[in-house]
Amino acid sequence: MALIVQKYGGTSVGSAERIQAVAQRVKRTVDAGNSVVVVVSAMGKTTDGLVKLAHEISANPNRREMDMLLSTGEQVTIALMSMALQELGQPAISMTGAQVGIVTEAAHTRARILHIKTDRLERHLQAGKVVVVAGFQGISSIEDLEITTLGRGGSDTSAVALAAALRADCCEIYTDVPGILTTDPRLVPEAQLMAEITSDEMLELASLGAKVLHPRAVEIARNYGMPLVVRSSWTDDPGTRVVSPVPQPRPLEDLEIARPVDAVEFDVDQAKVAMLRVPDRPGVAARLFGEISGQDLDVDLIIQSIHEGNTNDIAFTVSQASLKRAEAVSSAMIPALAAGTGSAAEDAEVMVDGGIAKVTIAGAGMIGRPGVAAQMFKTLAEAGINIQMISTSEVKVSCVVEAADCDRALAVLCEAFEVNSSPARIDTAQAAAQSDAPPVRGVALDRNQARLAIRQIPDRPGMAARLFELLAQHNISVDMIIQSQRCRLMNGLTARDIAFTVSQLDAEHAREILAAAAVELGWGEVVVDTAIAKVSIVGSGMVGQPGVAAQMFAALAQEKINIQMIATSEIKVSCVVSEEDGVKALQVIHAAFGLAGQQRIEVPA
């Protein structure tokens, strides 16, 4: 007999009929000889409705009261679901987060789960009942009983955390699509179902906009090795398995508060090529990386930042053995780029640096914790180490530093993040040889981001740290951090621009904080653009595979879509484009990687 946790999302329980249909499925699972815990969301779009209602009363509602309000949605569903099961002759009982004993941090509207007291729930299971638990909610402590919520979409996280705490055999997430698809079928109906995806890939996809799973749910499944399946609540099809590596054993205390950093990694076989002042128009990146991959050169990091005027800088890293050829290809492109454009492009130049290293911190515990990246920058700054390039993903932050600083960087990072094991050397070629995964598994669109740029940040160690610490103090998470390669002389000091993206909800707040610090920290104007969209490709098979990024850029160029920013990490490439180009960009990239299937995915209304 297995213990199964089944989670049903809003659409799956959107009406009385749907609740009855779900109850039938739950009963079938019990009749097949299993114990079942059911976790449910609020019915349909109830939570959205409650948020709207709150904003009719207050522009900035109190967070505690917000949790009090939003947690009611799930409470309706648990009672109805329990009744529906009882109608079928299946003993069942509903429980709120408080009744189960789901204890979280006190941070209202975004609490992380600390631990779950399972004995009460287990007594009901042993008595032969199905236990129906309200997702998305918890309490701040057994004494205070303050109701908290986990953040929008958080019922997935409730379910996987409960499965881990109960040591269940598996956790099944039931939703309105057949499983995890190559992209959002509402935007690309030709999206295809995947039978399987790794938790690393899913973490990236979820954090880049694929809302089919809450990223923190994937994190818990990965940390505890919990088998996780996503399937449709309308059919009996098997859906998608999310596979995790065998985890290190870990306690069930501090479930979501694992150490933020598990490993410090480095790669000394890196060289940098920067192309300065290339024209800002569709097709430039496609052409450059097309030529580079034509030479079979594998590019690791790519960043492209925005500028005033009509030029961009593009920087990328390659292995040291590839530097000469990468430089030759880049230099050869300059005359073609400048031809026929204004004077700015004629100033284009190529700069190379053969003596760089990449240092990386990695760990699923950094999700949603803006302070971790800031701490890395601060640690490097305090050691007097200048950061040349930054690349972030949901579970990694990498900094390119001077090669001579690498050993010192590793030592201070291991100490700061209490990583005792010696740093791991990244061997891209070996990783590529081991991987038979397709280069691109999925494509995601995030339309909720805004871009901020700070002009003329003094170029000295510690500035990135100060900047991101400031934002972290206000709990603002930053994504796609890009430092320009171009230095300018400002009052005798060199200065750079830094651009990054944050959630649109945080954009204005972030701008205020940064503008207020401008005089003290000596930086210039802070510019916000909310009319952007971020498209990303994700796949562990892109490691060590030349040409994947080039193919993405080419697809955009063909549609004349201009790329405003580029950022890559090992298993993803993200491009910022204008908001109006977002959906088209997603569609052409999905098609370009041959991800479209024959069957159109129908999403229930």
The span of 149-157, 288-296, 332-340, 440-448 binding ligand ASP (CB under 6 A) equals: 149-157
Residue showing the smallest CB distance to ligand ADP in the complex: 9
The span of 39-47, 79-87, 176-184, 595-603 binding ligand ASP (CB under 6 A) equals: 39-47
Q: Tell me the C-alpha distance between 532 and 530, whole Å.
A: 6
Element (H, E) at 425: strand 424-425
Q: Please state the closest distance from residue 275 (CB atom) to ligand ASP, in A.
A: 43
Compute CA distances 72 → 82, 137, 443, whole Å: 16, 9, 34
Nearer to ligand ASP, 41 or 484 (CB): 41
Nearer to ligand ASP, 157 or 393 (CB): 157
Query: In which residue are the tokens 């496609």 written?
Result: 286
Q: Is 325 exposed, middle or buried (0-12, 13-18, 19+ CB in 10 A)?
A: middle
Compute CA distances 177 → 218, 382, 437, whole Å: 18, 49, 24
Question: Helices 63-87 and 46-57, interaxial angle, to 10°?
Answer: 150
Q: Which does 204 bind (CB under 5 to 8 A by kind): ligand ADP, ligand ASP, Mg ion, none?
A: none
73 binds Mg ion (CB under 5 A): no
Q: Which does 73 bind (CB under 5 to 8 A by kind): ligand ADP, ligand ASP, Mg ion, none?
A: ligand ASP
Q: Please state the closest distance from residue 25 (CB atom) to ligand ASP, in A.
A: 18
Q: Tell me the C-alpha distance between 361 and 424, whole Å.
A: 10
Q: Please state the closest distance from residue 47 (CB atom) to ligand ASP, in A.
A: 3
Q: Please state the closest distance from residue 444 (CB atom) to ligand ADP, in A.
A: 6
Q: Please state the closest distance from residue 48 (CB atom) to ligand ASP, in A.
A: 7
Residues 229-258 interacting with ligand ASP (rule: CB under 6 A): none
Q: Which does 176 bind (CB under 5 to 8 A by kind): ligand ADP, ligand ASP, Mg ion, none?
A: ligand ADP
Q: Which does 568 bind (CB under 5 to 8 A by kind): Mg ion, ligand ASP, ligand ADP, none?
A: none
153 binds Mg ion (CB under 5 A): yes
Q: DSSP alpha helices (H): ranges in 474-530?
A: 504-516, 518-521
Nearer to ligand ADP, 26 or 212 (CB): 212
Q: Please state the closest distance from residue 180 (CB atom) to ligand ADP, in A.
A: 5
Nearer to ligand ADP, 298 or 446 (CB): 446
Element (H, E) at 325: helix 323-338
Residue 559: both structure tokens together: 């549609």
Applying CB under 6 A, among 11, 29, 47, 564 the residue interacting with ligand ASP is 47
Strand duo 572-578 + 565-569: pairing: antiparallel
Nearer to Mg ion, 77 or 322 (CB): 77
Applying CB under 6 A, among 38, 39, 42, 345 the residue interacting with ligand ASP is 42
Q: Please state the closest distance from residue 504 (CB atom) to ligand ASP, in A.
A: 17
Strand duo 170-175 + 228-232: pairing: parallel
211 binds ligand ASP (CB under 6 A): no
How many Cβ atoms from other residues are within 10 Å of residue 429's Cβ?
A: 12
Applying CB under 6 A, among 13, 26, 29, 73 the residue interacting with ligand ASP is 73
Applying CB under 6 A, among 44, 138, 153, 370 the residue interacting with ligand ASP is 153
Q: Tell me the C-alpha distance between 24 and 44, whole Å.
A: 19
Nearer to ligand ADP, 259 or 447 (CB): 447
Q: Which does 47 bind (CB under 5 to 8 A by kind): ligand ASP, ligand ADP, Mg ion, none?
A: ligand ASP
Q: Tell me the C-alpha distance between 82 and 63, whole Å.
A: 29
Q: 3-state SS of 88-134?
A: CCCCEEEECHHHHCEEECCCCCCCCEEEECCHHHHHHHHCCCEEEEE
Q: Which does 184 bind (CB under 5 to 8 A by kind): ligand ADP, ligand ASP, Mg ion, none?
A: ligand ADP
Q: Tell me the C-alpha distance between 103 and 114, whole Å.
A: 6
User: In angstroms, how far is the first alpha carbon of the chain from the final one?
Assistant: 36
The span of 5-13, 24-32, 130-138, 584-592 binding Mg ion (CB under 5 A) equals: 5-13
Q: Which does 152 bind (CB under 5 to 8 A by kind): ligand ASP, Mg ion, ligand ADP, none?
A: ligand ASP
158 contact partners, CB below 8 Å, separation of at least 6:
7, 39, 97, 102, 113, 133, 134, 135, 136, 137, 138, 150
Q: Please state the closest distance from residue 143 (CB atom) to ligand ASP, in A.
A: 26
- Give 359's DSSP letter: E
CA dihedral (499, 504, 506, 507) in degrees, to 10, reads: 50
- Footprint of ligand ASP on this chain (CB under 6 A)? 9-10, 41-42, 47, 73, 135-136, 152-155
- Footprint of Mg ion on this chain (CB under 5 A)? 9, 153
